[in-house]
């Protein structure tokens, strides 16, 4: 959504119990807040036919003439309704999207529906039903009951509590850090569950299932994918019709069953606890079982361990079964190496139970591994294929061609074609051709186009898809036999029109893909140039810092050579150690906090030789923070500033205290000295200015440097380190 809403309005929620939101196309986002009001923010944008629906331009004002927007309250239900006015000429050539961001009280229930956008729920309580025909679903930090579905988008459930029931026709489902009873269903996507407490009941028609760190009940089924489980505690039930099963079970409660029609099964589980064991496969490998009583052959095990207990059933029709004790695991069970394709970063799934940050994570799939990416998406123009855009595009082209052909033939009168027999059905025949072309383009671009290397021949299989989809749609739905009235008209409606619409869309898709590629290349070049610029600026700052410090140190050594040669020698040795450390650095802009403190210690050792008993210092930092990465030479200029403007101006003993601590996502560094208070003009000095510029370059607005008096402190705060 844009930063500034097109329209916003606030309603009192004192007597409201349920929010009912119906939207034609656009994203829906519900966010809980502590106020007893409903704050509605609307973000409207439009795609114009004059730009081939490529660009989405935000609207500065909401146009009530072209779009119907109503707010109504009936009893304890507050309704919001948004839909385009189809009879307005503007909407014939433009495609408007209306997205909602609504802040509601925690207690409020909701019913939301959109035909083409994403649905996002954050921090809300109560009961919520939501539906989208093709968008994504995100539920984050919710408490209550959720039920929703999407026709094809992916689903993410993060840090939720309560009861959840969600389904998607083909997208992937990602579940992390929840304490809830969840039912999951995807018709073709993958399931990934991490760090879950509660019950999981999931199914997929062909995707794989992976779970890591589950406590409670886990029951999932897939028709053909592999199943991988790790660190599972509780009741387990998994089955696949043709894939393999890999499981690491830490503790069993009441039952565990594993079933595959033809794949192999590998399981590690606590064999030293009582259980009823029922295993069958083509070949079984198990270690010696304690106090086993029953039948044991190469392909069957049926009996009890230690007198019996939880029921464990492991069965495969033709595969092999290997069962081991927990302390003798197979190779580590980790996410496999293929997965969601929305992101491009390397998978980084941590099996430790750490909280998920309150940021929207994107995840994607291909065929083998799972991948989370929480970085913001870069700007790009992907060839869109959403439902509304594709249908409108193909229908407009179809009706345009049909209108031109019809009126041209009527005006010229060159071919005497009698339209009267099919005239009532011409609108439906043209619409059917448009829908056929939409279906053909979807099938071709999704399944066929990536496998054909030459663009020049791609129109041929697309034409075949158009003919097939047109025949199926025309005959199965309309049942209009145009061949009986006119062979030319039949060829036009059944073959020529769907093919021409499909080719037009394919040509647009090629052009848009090329534009996207060029923009991506330019964007990549700009990012590289920006990185090179930042690196050059950082190198320039360090190049200034080093001579600045060297100048002061050499002056100190020169002053000690005649009066205190031993101290001059010691100071020279410390200086050589310091510069041997700094000149031996890599090209990285960051290093560990431990390395930075080593630089500080070397510098203060040099200044101790210079000041003698007049200087003492202390560095307080927990060892757990030593591995934190901070910019190089971040603290040395500040310590030097404390020496120059603080310690050197006091007659008594000078003190420098450096305190470093971390709380949540904030790293705080404080440098204190007992010198005179900061003056108002001190911030313009090179040392402080260089540190401020470095923080701005590397962190933007996520880091700050502040000078404080009473007590005198230089404080650096870095967010999300």
Higher-confidence residue of 445 and 596: namely 596
Q: How many CB atoms lie within 10 A of CB 248?
A: 20
Higher-confidence residue of 14 and 333: namely 14
Percent of the chain with pLDDT over 90: 30
> Tell me, what's the pLDDT at 371?
35
**pLDDT category of residue 372 using cuts at 50, 70 and 90:** very low
> Tell me, what's the pLDDT at 368?
35
Question: What are the sequence ranges of the domains in the chain?
Answer: 1-135, 387-513, 561-719
Residue 675 main-chain phi, psi, to 5 deg: -80, -175
Q: What is the pLDDT of residues 494-505, one digit of tens each?
A: 788 888 888 888
Q: What is the pLDDT of residues 202-260, one digit of tens each?
A: 999 878 999 999 999 999 999 878 999 999 999 999 999 878 999 999 999 899 999 99
Per-residue b or e along 403-417, where b marks 16 or more CB atoms closer than 10 Å to that residue's CB? eeeeeeeeeeeeeeb
Which residue shows structure tokens 């010696």? 288
| Residue spans of beta strands (DSSP E) within 585-665 | 590-592, 615-621, 629-631, 654-663
Give the pLDDT mean for 172-199: 93
CB 309 within 8 A of CB 289: no
- Is the sign of the CA dihedral 387, 390, 393, 396 positive or negative? negative
Give the pLDDT mean for 556-574: 79
Instruction: Classify residue 463 by its DSSP letter.
Output: H
Q: What is the pLDDT of residues 539-552, one digit of tens each?
A: 555 555 556 567 76
> Tell me, what's the pLDDT at 382?
38
> Tell me, what's the pLDDT at 350?
36
Could you tell me how far CA 668 lies from the centroid of its own chain?
Answer: 29
**pLDDT category of residue 346 using cuts at 50, 70 and 90:** very low
Pairing of β 320-324 and β 265-268: parallel
Q: How many CB atoms lie within 10 A of CB 57?
A: 12
pLDDT at 319 over 90: no
Could you tell me how far CA 228 lies from the centroid of its own chain?
Answer: 22
Q: Which CATH number fits domain 561-719: 3.30.1330.10, 3.30.565.10, 3.40.1410.10, 3.30.70.141?
A: 3.30.565.10
Which residue shows structure tokens 């954050």? 122
What's the whole-model pTM score?
0.50
Give the pLDDT mean for 511-517: 74
Could you tell me how far CA 634 lies from the centroid of its own chain?
Answer: 32
Q: What is the pLDDT of residues 458-475, one digit of tens each?
A: 767 877 777 777 777 666
Give the pLDDT mean for 566-586: 71
DSSP, collapsed to helix, strand or coil, labels residue 323 as strand
Q: Which residues, including other chains, have CB under 8 Å from residue 448's CB and lie 6 or more apart? A: 461, 462, 465
Instruction: Classify residue 32 by its DSSP letter.
Output: E
CB 66 within 8 A of CB 90: yes
The β-bridge partners of 656 are 617, 673
Distances (CA, A) of 295 to 18, 269, 304, 458: 60, 20, 9, 61
177 is written with which tokens? 């850090």
Q: How far apart are CA 686 and CA 692, in angstroms?
A: 10
> Tell me, what's the pLDDT at 541?
54
- Mean pLDDT of the residues in the chain: 79
> Tell me, what's the pLDDT at 1?
57
Give the pLDDT mean for 386-396: 78
Give the pLDDT mean for 28-34: 94
pLDDT at 45 over 70: yes
> Tell me, what's the pLDDT at 21?
93
Long-range residue pairs from 422-431, CB within 8 A, at least 24 positions apart, any chain: 422/480, 422/482, 422/485, 422/486, 422/489, 425/478, 425/480, 426/402, 428/478, 428/480, 429/474, 429/478, 429/480, 429/482, 429/493, 430/395, 430/398, 430/399, 430/402, 430/493, 430/497, 431/395, 431/398
């Amino acid at each position: 959504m844009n930063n500034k809403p097109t329209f916003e309005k606030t309603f009192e929620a004192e007597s409201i119990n349920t929010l009912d939101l119906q939207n034609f196309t656009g994203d829906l986002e519900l966010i809980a807040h502590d106020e007893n009001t409903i704050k509605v923010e609307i973000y409207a944008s439009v795609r114009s036919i004059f730009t081939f629906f490529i660009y989405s331009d935000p609207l500065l004002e909401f146009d009530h003439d072209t779009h119907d927007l109503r707010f109504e309250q009936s009893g304890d239900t507050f309704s919001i309704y948004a839909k385009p006015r189809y009879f307005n000429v503007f909407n014939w050539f433009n495609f408007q999207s209306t997205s909602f961001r609504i802040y509601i009280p925690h207690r409020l229930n909701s019913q939301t529906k959109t035909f083409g956008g994403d649905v996002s729920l954050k921090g809300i309580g109560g009961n919520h039903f939501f539906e989208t025909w093709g968008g994504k679903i995100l539920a984050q930090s919710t408490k209550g009951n959720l039920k929703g579905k999407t026709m094809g988008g992916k689903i993410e459930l993060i840090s939720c509590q309560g009861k959840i029931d969600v389904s998607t026709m083909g997208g992937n489902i990602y579940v992390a850090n929840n304490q809830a009873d969840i039912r999951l269903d995807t018709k073709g996507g993958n399931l990934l569950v991490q760090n879950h407490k509660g019950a999981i009941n999931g199914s997929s028609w062909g995707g794989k299932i992976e779970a890591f760190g589950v406590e409670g009940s886990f029951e999932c089924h897939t028709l053909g994918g592999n199943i991988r489980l790790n660190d599972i505690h509780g009741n387990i039930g998994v089955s696949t019709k043709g894939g393999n099963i890999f499981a690491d079970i830490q503790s069993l409660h009441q039952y565990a069953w594993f079933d595959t029609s033809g794949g192999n099964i590998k399981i590690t589980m606590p064999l030293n606890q009582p259980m009823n064991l029922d295993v069958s496969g083509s070949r079984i490998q198990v270690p010696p079982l304690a106090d086993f009583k029953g039948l044991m052959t190469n392909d069957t095990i049926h009996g009890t361990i230690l007198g019996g207990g939880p029921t464990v059933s492991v069965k495969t029709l033709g595969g092999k079964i290997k069962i081991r004790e927990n302390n003798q695991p197979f190779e580590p069970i980790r996410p496999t190496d293929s997965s969601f394709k929305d992101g491009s970063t390397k998978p980084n799934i941590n099996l430790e139970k750490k909280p998920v940050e309150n940021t929207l994570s994107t995840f994607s799939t291909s065929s083998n591994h799972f991948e989370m990416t929480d970085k913001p998406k870069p700007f790009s123009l992907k060839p869109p294929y959403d439902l509304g855009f594709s249908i409108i595009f193909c229908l407009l082209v179809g009706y345009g061609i049909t209108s031109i052909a019809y009126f041209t033939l009527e005006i010229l009168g060159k071919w005497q074609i009698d339209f009267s027999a099919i005239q009532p059905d011409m609108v439906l025949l043209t619409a059917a051709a448009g829908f056929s072309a939409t279906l053909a383009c979807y099938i071709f671009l999704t399944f066929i186009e990536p496998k054909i290397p030459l663009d020049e021949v791609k129109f041929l299989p697309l034409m075949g898809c158009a003919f097939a989809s047109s025949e199926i749609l025309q005959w199965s739905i309309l049942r209009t036999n145009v061949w009986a009235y006119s062979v030319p008209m039949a060829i036009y409606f059944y073959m020529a029109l769907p093919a021409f619409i499909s080719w037009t869309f394919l040509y647009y898709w090629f052009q848009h893909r090329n534009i996207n590629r060029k923009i991506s290349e330019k964007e990549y070049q700009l990012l590289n140039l920006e990185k090179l610029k930042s690196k050059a600026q950082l190198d320039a700052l360090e190049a200034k810092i080093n001579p600045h410090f060297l100048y002061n140190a050499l002056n100190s050594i020169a002053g000690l050579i005649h009066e205190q040669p031993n101290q001059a020698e010691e100071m020279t040795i410390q200086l050589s150690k310091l510069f041997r450390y700094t000149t031996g650095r890599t090209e990285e802009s960051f290093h560990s906090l431990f390395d930075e403190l080593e630089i500080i210690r070397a510098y203060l050792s040099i200044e101790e030789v210079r000041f003698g008993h007049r200087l003492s210092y202390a560095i307080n930092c927990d060892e757990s923070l030593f591995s934190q990465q901070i910019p190089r030479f971040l603290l040395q200029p500040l310590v030097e500033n404390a020496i120059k403007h603080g310690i050197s101006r006091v007659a008594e003993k000078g003190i420098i205290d450096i305190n470093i601590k971390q709380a949540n996502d904030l790293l705080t560094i404080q440098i204190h000295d007992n010198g005179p208070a900061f003056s108002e003009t001190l911030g313009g000095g090179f040392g402080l200015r260089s540190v401020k510029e470095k923080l701005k370059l590397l962190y933007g607005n996520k880091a700050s440097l502040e000078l404080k008096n009473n007590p005198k402190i230089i404080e650096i705060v870095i967010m999300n380190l």
